[in-house]
Amino acid sequence: MHHALHIKNGIVIDPKNGVKAEKMDIFVKDGKIVEESEVKGEDVKVIDASNKLVVAGGVDMHAHIAGSKINTGRTMRPEEMRVVRNIANKFRAAVGRVLLTSPAIGYEYAKMGYTSSFEAAQPPIGALHTHEELDAIPMIDKAALPVFGNWHFVFKYVEAKDIEKLKTFIAWALERTKGFGVKVVNPGGVEAWMYGGNVKSLDDQVPSFNVTPREIITSLIKAVEELKLNHSVHIHCNRLGVPGNYETTIETIKLAGGFSNDARQVLHVTHVQFNAYAGDSWRTVSSGAEEIAKTVNSMDNVTIDMGQPIFGHATAMTGDAPFQFTLHRLTGARWSNKDSEVEGGAGIVPLVYLPKNPVHALQWAIGLELGLLIDSDKVVLTTDYPNGGPFTEYPYIMAMLMSKKMREGELEKVSPYVQKASNLPAIDTEKALEEVIHMTRSLPARILGLPQKGHLGVGADADIAIYNLNPLEIDTSNDFEKVYKAFKTAEYTIKSGRILVKNGELVDEHWGKTYWVDATGKVDMEAIKPDLEDYFKYYSVELQNYGVEERWLKKPERIVI
Amino acid sequence: MAEENIVCTFCGSVCDDGQFDTEKFKSKKLCKLGSSKFSKKERIKAPMIDGKEVSYEEAIEKAAEILVNAKKPLLYGWASTVNEAIRLGVILTEKVRGVYDQCASVCHAPGTLAVIEEGLPGGSLGAVKNRADVVIFWGSNPMEAHPRHGMRYSISAKGLLIKDRKQRKVIVVDVRPTKTAKLADEFVQIKPGYDYPIISALRAIISGNADAVPDEVGGVSKEKLVELAETMKNAKYGVIFYGLGVTQSRGRDRNIENAVKLIQLLNRHTRWIIWPMRGHYNVVGAGEVPAWEAGYQYAIDFSRGYPRFSPAEFSAVEVLKRRDCDAALIIASDPVAHFPRTAVKHLKSISVIQIDPFPNMTTLVANVVIPSAVAGLEAEGTAYRMDGIPLRVKKIVETNYWSDEQILEKLLEKVEELKR
Ligand code: SF4
Ligand SMILES: [Zn+2]
């Protein structure tokens, strides 16, 4: 096997390094991008990329790809598994419509030129399960974000205003779950659900704890910033899926105001589409995207991702258990729920986005509004897979953001309700190819705090996608079908210097790394030991048996803070 | 030396607070069922081909030949081994284009069908211990089948909101007074096969249609049903733990579906969850692993090179009854003892490979017998408690036996070699 590559004559777009569609050669050795001189005298495989687009591999910073939620979804929905994507041969059998099996997840990302994906909600006590599934996904690098916002330990330390102990607890939890960063889902609201309720504002008190969502969020931001974790607090806001929730979202975004970090945002607000509704009922609902966009654009320390719905099948699965129940009541669809010890909960409900349904069409429009109205340096492209639909339709979103003409065509097919309830029809913005590349590569990598990802500079991981698209010639406004097709299947996907996909076909299998962040060196772990020992009486497992050891993982990559 | 916090690998309670004295070879804190597993037991001495002792390598080679030469092998069992072995088993089944099925297909599968119809509104056992003020065991009898379940999670367990046994109301619904019923605050005896109408009656009462309920349903008076419905509505956090009494009696998956609808309804008033009392310690893993690897929990046919799910066709009993397999690998299970006669008859007529630490009836019909290490005692790995909570079971004593994982890894390697 060649361990060096020379990607010749490609047209490179590499936003992080300021490369805007330049004809350039890229050299790869031992899984990294290197200078030309480094491959001299090596057995180099040359890839002719003439007239083709060469970019870094895609980075999905928020998807639900592993763990008890997606797996319950699979069990609940065998009808999702009847699409056969690969018959067992050199590669594994792969099936799934929107919900995919683990092998299918890896294969589909690779075929699309994506090389990393982050599981965005890991129930802490279920961490081992999440990691087993991550280890069953071939091709890509991955990581998981454990969920903190309804964990009793967090409530207790926030209640006591003890940021030191909160920091220690975060470090402990990341180490035990082999997690990457701090995810927060409907802080306080899931605890309220244990009593059949929810929280309705940032200042509602959490039942039986003297804390509010506002205090939980700000304390977690403070702790994460003092720990200097790679990734900021990553929040699924309160009041998701409720008309009028955009105001809560804006209030939440503003909580980042008092904090700063030179390298990245201090708050990432996820799948904002689901939290961007104005109006006071489903009958009067309209888009709150413009107000949210104004707020995000006015701040220099907040980023978001879209959570774009794709028309067709989807499965709602979140740690926001009360929302999932509301959705079940609204649609009458199947409902799974999982209350989890003293850590929070989750729910799963199948759904389908119909273009002629006024609310679904509005959701679709809001996602796009966010993508178009927010600075390309602050908004990442996601579907919140599988909540908004498949990740395999990222190319559709990319093409839509770059072409008003495409959007006009699509607008004709959807409910006319969007004409009055959203601003999408009036938006002329067409993102440039570099911007969309940034929104799918360099930006998510920066937000996650992964300097070796999302770009093609010397020293970066050799995760590279080559697409059959010449950026010097393509008219992205008019040739949107070509753009869509090109991004759908990569000509080449190269992961850690290995060619995994050629002409859209899998050619090699690779097992990526699982990143986790070790901040235990920054805190005094002894400080919370008595608390852990005491409060674990409310667990149904022993403290000593809680968590995941590194040696149980296939390819762990520890990042020491 | 005493090992602390060992994880019991017998029943679905997967108690993780056991102790084990390696010198005396004796466990502490486990129940009778658990401590019997963690004691010296009769073992299969060595790998065998047609009754003759051979090396592991020889037995595995022979097993690989049988699987590769079969048109459609059945790979069955899995509920009493660890996820690492199960995963290799699913990949192996895919490779040899066979049928994967696991013990759930003869016990809790109706529960899975109900999940497909209505979902599973549930919670972890820790949520029950902390919050549940009403606990109903419906057709389940933990005092016999999961002896420490009550103490650790559900009956006398103390938690965040439930500080005392008196704060929790325990109700048993069953066709006979069980051992668990004796501990309950209330026992509701029902006529066999009347689970469905009784659940329907409760749904009617709770949704305000008590008029539609006759004076007696399935041996329970209307008065009693109204009282039960009130208890349920007034609970702060209730749970139904159902067992084989519901899944294996008339109505089967429809019973569970109806019960799930009852839970959906109750959540409009207060909080309720429902959960199956799964039997073997890792029967949950035997369904979860194939779900992520192949999309389904059991009864999976790979004969076309991709997974297909059809319980009525591809469950082990059906495949055997139809004589639709020409070889079988049986792991950690004893179908000869438990399957219907026609199924066993076919099993006896085909080549059978057995992987198991302990001899059982299936050993007597197996052509290739491969003894394995006992997970939790001699081998480590991941298991899912009945509520899906993952726990790592431990290796606490040395052994010369290969683990299921090692055996399957080698077997898969051999199969790949032969297929090349
Ligand atoms: S209840 Fe089950 S898991 Fe617990 S000790 Fe007994 S047999 Fe083992
Ligand atoms: Zn999400």
Considering the domain architecture, whether residues A425 and A473 belong to the same structural domain is answered as no
H/E element, B114? helix B109-118
Considering the domain architecture, whether residues B98 and B113 belong to the same structural domain is answered as no
Report the DSSP beta bridge partners of residue A493. A465, A501
Contact B100, B300 (CB under 8 A): yes
Is the Cβ pair A542, B17 closer than 8 Å?
yes
Please tell me if the CB atom of residue B44 comes closer than 6 angstroms to any atom of ligand 1: no
Cα separation, A240 vs B168, in Å, equals 34
Q: Residues B293-323: pLDDT tens digits? A: 999 999 999 999 999 999 999 999 999 999 9
User: Closest by alpha carbon to A10, among A431, A468, A453?
Assistant: A468
For chain A, state the CA radius of gyration.
22
Q: What does the DSSP 8-state code read for residue B373?
A: P
Q: Look at residue B91 and tell me if it is in a domain.
A: yes
Considering the domain architecture, whether residues B141 and B93 belong to the same structural domain is answered as no
Q: Look at residue A555 and tell me if it is in a domain.
A: no
B208 phi/psi in degrees, rounded to 5:
90, 20
A541 interaction partners in chain B (CB closer than 8 Å): 16, 126, 389, 391
Cα separation, B206 vs B232, in Å, equals 9
Q: Tell me: pLDDT of B278 over 90.
A: yes
Of the residues B276, B299, B333, which one is the last residue of a structural domain? Answer: B276
B330 phi/psi in degrees, rounded to 5:
-115, 120
Considering the domain architecture, whether residues B237 and B297 belong to the same structural domain is answered as no
DSSP labels, A119-155: EEEE-GGGHHHHHHHHTT--SSEEEEEEB-TT-HHHH
Of the residues A423, A448, A473, which one is the last residue of a structural domain? Answer: A448
Considering the domain architecture, whether residues A36 and A106 belong to the same structural domain is answered as no
Helices (H), A334-454: 358-373, 394-402, 404-413, 417-421, 433-440, 442-448
Look at chain A and report how many structural domains it folds into.
Answer: 2
Cα separation, A489 vs B329, in Å, equals 40
Q: Which residue has the tokens 């799910």?
A: B309
Contact A57, A455 (CB under 8 A): no
**Which pLDDT does position A1 carry in this prediction?**
54
Q: Look at residue B190 and tell me if it is in a domain.
A: yes
A96 interaction partners in chain B (CB closer than 8 Å): 295
Q: Please report the sign of the dihedral spanned by the C-alpha atoms of residue A159, residue A163, residue A165, residue A168.
A: positive
Considering the domain architecture, whether residues B300 and B342 belong to the same structural domain is answered as yes
Considering the domain architecture, whether residues B230 and B339 belong to the same structural domain is answered as no
Q: Look at residue A47 and tell me if it is in a domain.
A: yes
Residue B144: CB atoms within 10 A of its CB come to: 11
Contacts of A130 (CB under 8 A, 6+ apart): A66, A67, A68, A119, A122, A123, A144
Q: If you measure from the C-alpha of residue A384 to the centroid of ligand 2, how many angstroms do you get, rounded to a whole number?
A: 5
Q: Which of B9, B10, B278 to mutate to test the pocket of ligand 1 (most atoms within 8 A of CB)?
A: B10
Residue A417: CB atoms within 10 A of its CB come to: 18
Considering the domain architecture, whether residues A168 and A30 belong to the same structural domain is answered as no
Residue B2: CB atoms within 10 A of its CB come to: 12
Considering the domain architecture, whether residues B296 and B411 belong to the same structural domain is answered as yes
Cα separation, A548 vs B390, in Å, equals 10
Of the residues A470, A488, A506, which one is the last residue of a structural domain? Answer: A506
DSSP labels, A278-343: ESSSTTT-EE-HHHHHHHHHH-SSEEEE-----SEEEEEEES-HHHHHHHHHHH----EEEEETTT
Considering the domain architecture, whether residues A488 and A353 belong to the same structural domain is answered as no
- Predicted TM-score of the model (pTM): 0.97
Cα separation, A378 vs A304, in Å, equals 6
B198, HSE (Cβ side, Cα atoms, 13 Å): 26
Considering the domain architecture, whether residues A45 and A186 belong to the same structural domain is answered as no
First-to-last alpha carbon distance for chain B, in angstroms, is: 48
Output the six-digit token pair for A535.
């409060």
Considering the domain architecture, whether residues A410 and A434 belong to the same structural domain is answered as yes
Among protein residues, the one with the nearest Cα to ligand 1's atom 4 is B15
Q: Look at residue B20 and tell me if it is in a domain.
A: no
Angle (nearest 5°) at CA A119 between A512 and A558: 50
b/e map B373-398, b = 16+ CB within 10 Å: bbbbbbbbbbbbbbbbbbbbbbbbee
b/e map A297-321, b = 16+ CB within 10 Å: eebebbbbbbbbbbbebbbbbbbbb
Q: Residues B16-73: pLDDT tens digits? A: 999 999 999 999 999 999 999 999 999 999 999 999 999 999 999 999 999 999 999 9
CATH code for the domain of B245? 3.40.228.10
Q: Look at residue B1 and tell me if it is in a domain.
A: no
Output the six-digit token pair for A153.
């330990």
Q: Tell me: pLDDT of B106 over 90.
A: no
Report in angstroms the alpha-carbon separations of A481 from A65, A403, A405, A487: 28, 10, 11, 10
Considering the domain architecture, whether residues B174 and B295 belong to the same structural domain is answered as no
Q: Look at residue A553 and tell me if it is in a domain.
A: no
Among protein residues, the one with the nearest Cα to ligand 1's atom 8 is B34
User: Closest by alpha carbon to A436, among A9, A8, A21?
Assistant: A21
Considering the domain architecture, whether residues B151 and B192 belong to the same structural domain is answered as yes
Of the residues B244, B276, B308, which one is the last residue of a structural domain? Answer: B276
Considering the domain architecture, whether residues A370 and A488 belong to the same structural domain is answered as no
Please tell me if the CB atom of residue B153 comes closer than 6 angstroms to any atom of ligand 1: no
- B46 burial level (CB within 10 Å; 0-12, 13-18, 19+): middle
Q: Look at residue A557 and tell me if it is in a domain.
A: no
Q: What does the DSSP 8-state code read for residue B218?
A: T
Q: Which atom of ligand 1 is nearest to the CA of B13?
A: 3
Which residue among B125, B292, B306 sits closest to A71, beta carbon to beta carbon?
B292
Per the prediction, chain B carries an average pLDDT of: 97
First-to-last alpha carbon distance for chain A, in angstroms, is: 35
Query: pLDDT digit of tens for each residue in chain A (561 aa)?
Result: 567 999 999 999 999 999 999 999 999 999 999 999 999 988 899 999 999 999 999 999 999 999 999 999 999 999 999 999 999 999 999 999 999 999 999 999 999 999 999 999 999 999 999 999 999 999 999 999 999 999 999 999 999 999 999 999 999 999 999 999 999 999 999 999 999 999 999 999 999 999 999 999 999 999 999 999 999 999 999 999 999 999 999 999 999 998 999 999 999 999 999 999 999 999 999 999 999 999 999 999 999 999 999 999 999 999 999 999 999 999 999 999 999 999 999 999 999 999 999 999 999 999 999 999 999 999 999 999 999 999 999 999 999 999 999 999 999 999 999 999 999 999 999 999 999 999 999 999 999 999 999 999 999 999 999 999 999 999 999 999 999 999 999 999 999 999 999 999 999 999 999 999 999 999 999 999 999 999 999 999 999 999 999 999 999 999 999
Cross-sheet strand order for the sheet of B18-21: B2-6, B18-21, B26-28
Q: Please report the sign of the dihedral spanned by the C-alpha atoms of residue B138, residue B143, residue B148, residue B151.
A: positive
Contact A207, A191 (CB under 8 A): yes
Please tell me if residue B354 touches chain A, with a CB cutoff of 8 Å: no
Q: Which domain holds residue B409?
A: 43-107+281-376+398-419
A397 phi/psi in degrees, rounded to 5:
-65, -40
No. of helices (H) and no. of strands (E), chain A: 18, 26
Q: Look at residue A209 and tell me if it is in a domain.
A: yes
Q: Look at residue A98 and tell me if it is in a domain.
A: yes
Of the residues B257, B276, B295, which one is the last residue of a structural domain? Answer: B276
Contact A125, A340 (CB under 8 A): yes
- Of the residues A102, A317, A341, the best mutation for testing chain B's interface (the one with the most B CB atoms within 10 Å of its CB) is A341
Cα separation, A463 vs A461, in Å, equals 6
Considering the domain architecture, whether residues B248 and B144 belong to the same structural domain is answered as yes
Cα separation, A121 vs A384, in Å, equals 11
Please report, rounded to a whole number, the percentage of residues in chain B having pLDDT higher than 70.
100
Considering the domain architecture, whether residues A156 and A301 belong to the same structural domain is answered as yes
Q: Look at residue B409 and tell me if it is in a domain.
A: yes
Q: Look at residue A10 and tell me if it is in a domain.
A: yes
Q: Look at residue B202 and tell me if it is in a domain.
A: yes
Q: Look at residue B35 and tell me if it is in a domain.
A: no
Considering the domain architecture, whether residues B247 and B322 belong to the same structural domain is answered as no
Look at chain B and report how many structural domains it folds into.
Answer: 2
Residue A263: CB atoms within 10 A of its CB come to: 10
DSSP labels, A183-222: EEESTTHHHHHTTT----STTPPPTTSS--HHHHHHHHHH
Q: Look at residue A168 and tell me if it is in a domain.
A: yes
Among protein residues, the one with the nearest Cα to ligand 1's atom 5 is B30
User: What's the complex ipTM?
Assistant: 0.97
Q: What ligand is nearest to the CA atom of residue B391?
A: 1
Considering the domain architecture, whether residues B231 and B290 belong to the same structural domain is answered as no
Distance from B62 to chain A by nearest Cα, in Å?
Answer: 23
CATH code for the domain of A491? 2.30.40.10
Output the six-digit token pair for B331.
């792991």
A196 interaction partners in chain B (CB closer than 8 Å): 267, 269-271
Considering the domain architecture, whether residues B262 and B299 belong to the same structural domain is answered as no
Please tell me if residue B301 touches chain A, with a CB cutoff of 8 Å: no
Q: Which domain holds residue A500?
A: 4-56+460-506
Considering the domain architecture, whether residues A67 and A51 belong to the same structural domain is answered as no
Considering the domain architecture, whether residues A128 and A206 belong to the same structural domain is answered as yes
CATH code for the domain of B313? 3.40.50.740
A315 phi/psi in degrees, rounded to 5:
-135, 120
CATH code for the domain of A185? 3.20.20
Q: If you measure from the C-alpha of residue A318 to the centroid of ligand 2, how many angstroms do you get, rounded to a whole number?
A: 6
